A and B are shown apart, each in its own frame.
Chain A
Amino acid sequence: MIGRLLASRGRNLTRREALECYLFISPVCIGLLAFTIGPILASLYFSFTEYNIIRAPKWVGLGKFHDLIQDELFWQSLKVTSLYVVMHLPLSLVLALGIALLMNQKVRGIIFFRTVYYLPSVVSGVAVALLWMWIFNPEFGILNTLLALVNIRGPAWLFDEHWSLPAIALMSLWGVGGSMLIYLAGLQGIPSELYEAAEIDGASRWRRFWFITLPLLSTVILFNLVMGLIASFQEFTPAYVMTSGGPNFSTLFYNYYLYENAFEYLYMGYASAMAWVLLVIVLILTLLVFKSSPMWVFYQERQKE
């Protein structure tokens, strides 16, 4: 429809229209080149060099990638990040969906609860990390105090290499409201006639969830899955603020180790190599998710305009 309307305006306009279009999108195009595509290519180049900013980059070929393979801490950071993904992602996806289902109930005061559940995801970063450090405090923190009430002796959390990563994963669940809201948006987009029809047919609540809600929500699940995956690999603030990657490298997140290399030791070449390895990993994982999606994602027929 849009095309037809525009076409009716005649040829003279088209050329001018194109020029105007380019002008309107030019700031973003400049940014795309200067701050995104340019830097991507630059970091690819740096990954083949030894570079500390002060001296000119020195070409070392695949040397930095070779160093990476032999760097135990690199493998540790990959392991930590993967473990974090495994602990954090499935749990947060399920929890967010569960809360969204609860939030979709039509009961009085639901707006108030929505706000309460959503608020923790609004605040993130340093203040949240500081707060949870205090919550996780082994002696005076509220978590172990509450556990003591039910006769559980809580671990030392951030000071214990076995519990530090689960602690950070637990903290991240507090902010699950963000993906909850995206699920909720998806839920509210499901036409209620579908449920009504199913109810008339006598479908149980569980069947309605399994055969209506879940299929119609699968694109949203896919979205949350991909975004959660990418975000996990970018986790930085908790490692920096709460643990400095410790104890005993148990919270050496990939992004934190990259930061250390780049901005504390100025190993720009090495860090660029790490960044590119990460880019490839994220690309492969995202591709896998998308490739597998026809098996479990239900695409609605697009409505005609």
Chain B
Amino acid sequence: MSVAQGTSRTTARRLEHFLTYLLLVTGGVVICIPFFWMISTSLKQQMDVYLFPPQWIPEPVQWDNYRQVMTFWPFWTYVGNSVFVSVGSIVGKLIASSLAAYGFARLRARGRDVIFVILLSTMMLPSQVTLIPQFILFSKLRWIDSFKPLVVPAFFLGPFYVFLLRQFFMTISFELEDAARMDGCNSLQVFYRVILPLSMPALAIVAIFEFRGRWNDFLEPLIFLNSPSKRTLALALQFFQGSEGVLPQLHLLMAASFLSMVPLLVLFTVAQKRFIQGIVFTGIKG
């Protein structure tokens, strides 16, 4: 290969690199504009929100907006409600789905695979088909306007998580399990002494997925909760918006919206790597 050819190849590589970065940066900027706009609005004085042309950088920066958001409505009550519902759901789904996944992955029984297929097929079900009877059931049980409809079913549901954890459990070697059984462990002991400690990454993914789902959930809290004091953060945000689509306190609304996003943004930035592994796992081996 001649020297000239070699150089032209490096030039081409460089150009390619440059173009890749150009695309990456342009796309990244476009994606960040909404976040930027939200934060910028959240730090403006009320009057400055409706300036034309709009201010990109707030002047003066109103850090006080965030203090107001936390004090002038029961912000922390809503946060507490969201945390309670999310944590309750996470605990429920972790228990139910890991138990079931162990059964489906490593214990044999007649009809097991049929049940598993039925369970999987319910993932494709539009939720509306079950929502109305669930609502009727919960109102007969007098569970409406409590957190029970949002938390109790979690201890019995989670087909996707069962699938995900089953995939993971199947990769754990049987030698470990057999050794534990030799030492006199029964299945339950094998489950929590051998399988669970080895499955922390997968369990973390279940927890993260469920946290996101519950934290962002709007329809179910809207249907099942009535009292203002029981609202989750997402539900409270909608009521904060005010009637008739008017946004009288936009700077505060944006501050509150941003605050509601912070836990998710932080969690996913920190857990990003683990999370991608999880998706690789479900995506490829499925």
Name A27's contact: one of B99, B106, B284 (CB within 8 Å).
B99
| Contact status of A279 and B126, CB under 8 A, knowing A21-B107, A127-B257, A135-B37 | yes
Q: Report Cα–Cα, A275/B136, bound state, in Å.
A: 15
Residues from 129 to 165 in A contacting B, C-beta threshold 8 Å: 130-135, 139-140, 142, 145
Size band of the interface chain A makes with B? 35 or more
If A31-B153, A185-B283 touch, does A24 touch B107 (CB 8 Å cutoff)?
Answer: yes
B156:A30 contact, CB within 8 angstroms: yes
Q: Which residues of chain A come closer than 8 Å to B158, judged between CB atoms?
A: 28
A203 within 8 A of B: no
Decide if A117 is an interface residue (CB 8 Å cutoff): yes
Contact B126 A25 (CB under 8 A): no
Interface contact B99-A130, CB-CB below 8 Å: no
User: B143 at interface (Cβ–Cβ under 8 A)?
Assistant: no
Q: Which residues of B contact A184 (CB under 8 A)?
A: 276
- B34 interface neighbour in A114, A120, A124, A278, Cβ under 8 Å: A120
Report B137 CB to chain A, min CB distance, Å.
Answer: 7
Q: In the assembly, what is the distance between CA of A125 and CA of B35, in Å?
A: 15
A268: nearest chain-B partner, CB-CB = B132
> Does any Cβ of A come within 8 Å of B269's Cβ?
yes
- Asked if A53 contacts B129 (CB within 8 A), the reply is no
B129 in contact with A31 (CB, 8 Å): no
Interface pick from B24-32, B57-65, B83-91: B24-32
Q: Distance (Å) between the CB of B225 and the closest chain A CB?
A: 12
> A27 with B132: in contact, given A123-B216, A124-B216, A134-B254 (CB under 8 Å)?
no
CB distance from B231 to the nearest CB of A (A): 11
Residues in A lying within 8 Å of B, measured CB to CB: 2-3, 5-6, 14, 17-25, 27-32, 34-40, 42-43, 46, 53, 99, 102, 105, 107, 110-111, 113-120, 122-127, 130-135, 139-140, 142, 145, 174, 181-182, 184-186, 188-189, 220, 223, 226, 230, 233-234, 236-237, 240-241, 244, 255, 258-259, 262-263, 268, 271-272, 274-276, 278-279, 282, 286
